[in-house]
């Protein structure tokens, strides 16, 4: 994921983070990217700054969108969660029963 570099008088440090497929960070990245793609399909001039955060059986979406398009973010998130494979009820996080909170500002571009 990210790289952090540091230096002291004698050593040079490089650290990185790696997570596996299905990890909440990767799921959240795919959801945010999918929402961005959906807006850009409708309006190529869309500006989308959406963050996703998942915990237990909850997904939170927040940020700001400026676009002529409209995307049902919760429905898009469920579609992506289902495609990733989180579909078994009672196993924690699943596409059909997770709580999704959407809180972002949507501004419409002038025509």
Residue 65 has what pLDDT?
Answer: 96
pLDDT > 50? residue 63: yes
- The two three-digit tokens of residue 37, written as one number: 């793609």
Q: Left (φ > 0), alpha (ψ -120 to 50) or beta: where does 53 sit?
A: beta
CA dihedral sign of residues 39, 37, 64, 28 = positive
Q: Give the model's confidence band at 10: pLDDT under 50 very low, under 70 low, under 90 confident, else very high.
A: confident
Mean pLDDT of the residues in the chain: 86
Q: Tokens at residue 65, please?
A: 């969108």
pLDDT at 92: 78
* Residue with more model confidence, 107 or 58: 58
């Amino acid at each position: 994921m990210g790289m952090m570099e540091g230096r002291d008088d004698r050593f040079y440090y490089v650290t990185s983070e790696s997570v596996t497929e299905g990890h909440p960070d990767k799921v959240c990245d795919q959801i945010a990217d999918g929402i961005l793609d959906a807006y850009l399909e409708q309006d190529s001039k869309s500006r989308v700054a959406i963050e996703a955060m998942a915990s237990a059986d909850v997904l939170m979406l927040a940020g700001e969108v400026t676009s002529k398009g409209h995307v049902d973010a919760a429905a898009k998130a469920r579609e992506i969660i289902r495609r990733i494979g989180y579909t078994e009820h009672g196993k924690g996080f699943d596409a059909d029963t997770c709580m999704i909170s959407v809180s972002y500002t949507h501004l419409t571009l002038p025509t």
